Amino acid sequence: MGFRARILGAAAGGGLPQWNCGCQNCRLARDGAIPSLTQSSLAVTANGRDWAVLNASPDIRAQLTASRALAPTGLREVPIRSVLLTNGDVDHVAGLLTLREMQSFSLLATAGIHAVLNANPIFTALNPAVVTRAEVALDEPFALVPGLVATLFAVPGKVPLYLEGETVETQLIGEQTVGVRLEADGRTAFYIPGCAALTGDLAARLDGAEAVFFDGTLWTDDEMLRLGLGTKTGARMGHMSMSGPEGSITAFAGLNIAQKVYVHMNNTNPVLRPGSPERAEAEAAGWIIGADGLEITP
């Protein structure tokens, strides 16, 4: 039992199907014609006994129930030692409220993301006597769980939707949107569920990794507009798309990464339909389309 990563939820905010959405994919998922997906989260371990959960999704209760490896090992004890946040978005923090039943763990995030949580008194539902909040500096490696070293680094993104002001910087580099480098047994994986652009620095950082879990929110930047489901492009939401000259398929094409896995996929994304030409194109470019419960060994 070495380094393992389990996708707890492969969908972006809303999930598949989303409660109020009647788009093609959500209808297919509701009918059982394509797999349903819960919202954005990854669990990692280096020994099979001590786990970290990366992002606490609103679906965490169902995700833990579906994961035997994360089942309780005692009367009020699960093998989750830490919960690490990559941003303050609702789909990544709302699940913290589910984790309030006196389970001890370390809640890890940048100072900037902790400030967002600290400004909201509802998160005091996590009793400070059992949940330790620890600030993690960018670019400084730390022990995430036994045998697994993590490093946070800034990626282009934006502040959470509920903190957007009049003007929004969508390619902000700082503490509000981070990626995670994970290293165990001399092997390296990255978790980057939200990213507005693959900069040269970021590409160099990822090159040579055993596995990368990457932002797969949209296939095309204007997908939600064209489907009549919203007014925002992917770029406006702080997400680079999969397809096109600016997309992640092209941006990753020259990189040497053994396993490239899309996560945080919006329910409108056509790759979520097995047999779609878009899925075939992504897979032909070497991408794995993430799914709930999928385990990757970096």
Site string for Zn ion, 224-263 (x = CB under 5 A): ----------------------------------------
Give the one residue of 12, 23, 152, 154 binding Zn ion; rule: CB under 5 A: 23
Give the one residue of 66, 90, 168, 258 binding ligand MLT; rule: CB under 6 A: 90
Site string for ligand MLT, 131-170 (x = CB under 6 A): ------------------------------x---------
| Nearer of residues 66 and 161 to ligand MLT, judged by Cβ | 161
| Nearer of residues 37 and 44 to Zn ion, judged by Cβ | 37
> Considering only CA atoms, which of 43, 20, 45, 42 is closest in space to residue 30?
20
Would you count residue 290 as binding ligand MLT (CB under 6 A)?
Answer: no
- 23's contact among Mn ion, ligand MLT, Zn ion, none, with CB below 5 to 8 A by partner kind, is Zn ion
Interface residues with Zn ion (CB under 5 A)? Answer: 21, 23, 26, 267
Interface residues with ligand MLT (CB under 6 A)? Answer: 12-13, 89-91, 161, 194, 237-238
